[in-house]
Structure 1
Amino acid sequence: MNNGKLYIISAPSGAGKTTLVKQLISDLDNLTVSISHTTRPMRTGETNGQDYYFITIEDFQAMQEKQAFLEYAQVFDNFYGTAQQTLEQNLKKGSDVILEIDWQGAQQVKKLLPDSISIFILPPSTEVLLQRLRNRGQDDEQIIARRMRDAVAEIRHYEEFDYLVVNNVFEQALTELKSIVIANRLSRQRQLHNLRPLLTALLS
């Protein structure tokens, strides 16, 4: 069985990454999201074990000491981490896995797993990003201003990613993400396993 492919997807806060990823895994088979651990509070509508594993700072630090994380980072005042064991189990089953992490985590994962594919999602403009952050209704203006400053710092790392997708029209951005996944599934390396009987028959 082929191992699955790991996709790293990063974006500044408000670029629409989470919505795109949810629709992507809904539309494509054999694609799952790696659920991260976080110390941030659970937001309205979120479910523990589905959106994140919500844990205390003490528990997070205990996992760090055991080197349980493939990557981890501090974003604002909270910690986020990807448990290595869960990720490896999904990949060995042949499932493609998406990691929704920031550029810091992407750097760490790329060093450890250089065959992973990294995608950065960009907003169409600063104005649109600001409006999306306000429309979420989750943060006051001070926090929104902080997120906007951080967005500029994050976008500066675009050169470290394999693909860039602009989330202007949602359906177009979704189609572009699907194209990346589907094209990779059609690579010779992955198709050799799936098409070996056909190739043998065609060449006999």
Structure 2
Amino acid sequence: MYELKDRSWLFVFTGPDGSGRKSVAEAVGHTFGMEKIVSYVTRQPRPGEVNGQDYRFISHDSYREMESHGEFLESVEIDGNLYGIRSLDVESMLEKHDSAYLILNREGATILKKIYGDKVVRLFLYADRRTVEERQRKLGLPDDVISQHLGHYDTEMEYRGFCEHAFENYDLAQTTYEITNTLENYLQRDLVDKD
């Protein structure tokens, strides 16, 4: 297994679907010039998702073949779809950069935490149930997908207490600022004016 260097960090953005974790993660990643490690998934792209940017969309058979070769660091099944992070992607990213970020559900975040311990910092984003439902409707997600997500809402919210940091996300700019301040403590980049 790959050993993370002393200065390396993996920042995991997690929380219920519709919490805004993708928008915040991308804004924070951009602020720090930090790259994203992209997960593999067997489901179809949703409205607005781009292959290779949001996920790497592959067939169930391709996923199982990669899994049989031990390519995945973590692999979980949610609502019949397989999600995984490839070991090689983590290793090659951290060979080039000190730190990277991922957007994962609670299962994936927990697995990475077990593997890399204190080098994984989980950032939990959340909003109330009505808000996350409205956000998903604005994205144009089908009703059955929204229902599936809302079925996981309470379980996802329980994970907040296990994460290193939690942020209520109703204002993208404010949440991004708060998380940037938090990550500054780990990265020591002097990007944030503390006055």
Please give the TM-score of this superposition, normalised by the length of structure 2: 0.87
Per-residue deviation at 1:159?
Answer: 1.8
Aligned residue for 1:145?
147
Identity %: 23
> Partner residue of 1:174?
176
1:6 and 2:5 matched: no
Distance 1:149 1:43, change over 3 A: closer
Any unmatched runs of 5+ in structure 2?
191-195
Once the two structures are overlaid, the 10-residue window that deviates more, 53-62 or 128-137, is 128-137
**Cα drift, residue 68 of structure 1:** 0.9
Moved over 4 A (4+): none
Aligned-partner Cα distance in 2 for 1:143–1:86: 28
Shift in CA distance, 68/3, structure 1 to aligned 2, threshold 3 Å: farther
Q: Retained in 1: the 8 A contact 2:11–2:122?
A: yes
Cα–Cα, structure 1 residues 26 and 186, in superposed 2: closer, same or farther, change >3 Å? Answer: closer
The verdict on how the C-alpha distance between 1:94 and 1:145 changes in structure 2, with shifts beyond 3 A counting, is closer
1:3 Cα offset (Å): 4.4
Q: Residue 72 of structure 1: SS of its match in structure 2?
A: strand
1:122 equivalent in alignment to 2:126: yes
The separation in 2 between residues aligned to 1:45 and 1:57, in whole angstroms, is: 22
Task: For residues 47-82 of structure 1, give each alpha carbon's deviation from its aligned partner in whole angstroms, at most 9, with x where no partner exists.
Answer: 322222111111111111111111111122211100
Unaligned runs of 5+ in 1: 192-204
In the superposition, relative to structure 1, how do residues 40 and 127 fare at CA in structure 2: closer, same or farther (>3 Å)? same
Is contact 2:16-2:152 (8 Å) kept? Answer: yes
Q: CA RMSD in A?
A: 2.0
Residue 45 of structure 2 is aligned to residue 39 of structure 1:
no
Does the aligned pair in 2 maintain the 1:32–1:95 contact within 8 Å? no
Which residue does the alignment assign to 1:197? none
TM-score (norm 1): 0.83
The alignment covers a number of residue pairs equal to 185
